[in-house]
Amino acid sequence: MAKEFNVAVAGATGAVGVEMLKTLEKRNFPIKNLKLLASARSAGQVVEFKGEKLVIEEMTENSFKGVDIALFSAGGDISKQFRKSVVDAGAVMIDNSSAFRMEAGVPLIVPEVNPEDIKNHNGVIANPNCSTIIMLVAVAPLHRAKKLKRLVAATYQATSGAGAKGMSEMLTQTQQVLNGEAINPQVFAHRIAFNLIPHIDAFTDNGYTKEELKMLNETRKMLHDDSINISCTCVRVPVMRAHSEALNLEFADDITPEEARAILATAPGVTVVDDIANKVYPMPVDATEQYNVLVGRIRQDISRNDKKGLDIFVAGDQVLKGAALNAVQIAELL
């Protein structure tokens, strides 16, 4: 009989936690016992999983006895607080926050990109930033074939990146704008309805935000190459839950759009959506609730005098591939 695992989901009531449960059920992960953990405020709520009713428990230091895999999506401070309890209990923490991503000895994993890194864990495996995941699923196969030298990204990030509250704020504000009512932003720095905000996470001394630097540092870590030059501008857009990104790529070797399409056509986790004659290209509305990252608008960079540059456009579900699905795929890899 196939081995079954005792699984805990920490942050089970959040947007990503809810999606983790759906993904575990949909992919039929081999679960023996499932423990749902959250704050005291959510304890006692009842959630259905595979037709069974499960009661959410308050997360404590003793919650992880007998647990094999703990999927965390409760925020970085909570992950740091419970790390020792999880590891001491003999469980493996798969953490969705930014708490441990750049820590030496903690593998940062996208299963389609660097599955071999998983064997080096010491009880903690980090899930990368959602924008980095969606980007690298598309870029890594091209990098393997032609060696990436430089990447310039502009992201169009959905409100789901700020959790259920972010999505709710967009819907509320949209209604308020249409009704001519006053708007009082709570989650975002400015009004998000019918607007773009070129500001995600805190600004740093060099003028880049932490989100933009995450994409730089995490990409280098996962591709094991600190020589790749990366510059990002991260923008929040009034979209529900799929991120899009415009990527300008420079490679060491020549690459044509035809070659890129052929490479991406067989790449795991990628769907090539690139038929401009019929107005077919990646859009967040089509990427929503899809496991794969959509890649299209693949074209030669005409600002160059050689064949080493490409422009591509990608879209991927932030809640799924950008978070919950990737975490469950790491658990499957384990």
E strands, the chain, are 5-10, 31-38, 46-49, 52-55, 57-58, 69-72, 92-95, 124-126, 148-157, 229-236, 242-251, 270-272, 293-300, 309-317
Residue 165 confidence (pLDDT): 94
CATH number given to 5-128+324-333: 3.40.50.720
- pLDDT tens readout for residues 236-276: 999 999 999 999 999 999 999 999 999 999 999 999 999 99
CATH number given to 132-320: 3.30.360.10
- pLDDT tens readout for residues 79-104: 999 999 999 999 999 999 999 999 99
- pLDDT tens readout for residues 115-126: 999 999 999 999
CA–CA separation, 158 and 144 (whole Å): 29
CA–CA separation, 92 and 127 (whole Å): 13
CB 196 within 8 A of CB 160: no
CA–CA separation, 100 and 180 (whole Å): 44
- pLDDT tens readout for residues 199-236: 999 999 999 999 999 999 999 999 999 999 999 999 99
Q: Can you give the residue ranges of every domain in the chain?
A: 5-128+324-333, 132-320
Fold identical between 5-128+324-333 and 132-320?
A: no
Which candidate in 121, 130, 143, 234 is catalytic?
A: 130
Catalytic: 232?
no
pLDDT band at 2 (very low <50, low <70, confident <90, very high): confident
Residue 59 confidence (pLDDT): 96
Residue 1 confidence (pLDDT): 60
Which candidate in 121, 143, 234, 243 is catalytic?
A: 243
Catalytic: 130?
yes
Residue 169 confidence (pLDDT): 98
What average pLDDT does the segment 301-310 reach?
Answer: 98
Specify burial of residue 67 (Cβ count, 10 A radius: 0-12, 13-18, 19+): buried
- pLDDT tens readout for residues 28-66: 999 999 999 999 999 999 999 999 999 999 999 999 999
φ/ψ (deg, to 5) at 6: -85, 120
Count the Cβ atoms, other than its own, within 10 Å of residue 213. Answer: 18
DSSP 119: G
Residue 15 confidence (pLDDT): 86
Tokens standing for residue 304: 């160059």
In the chain, % of residues over pLDDT 70:
100
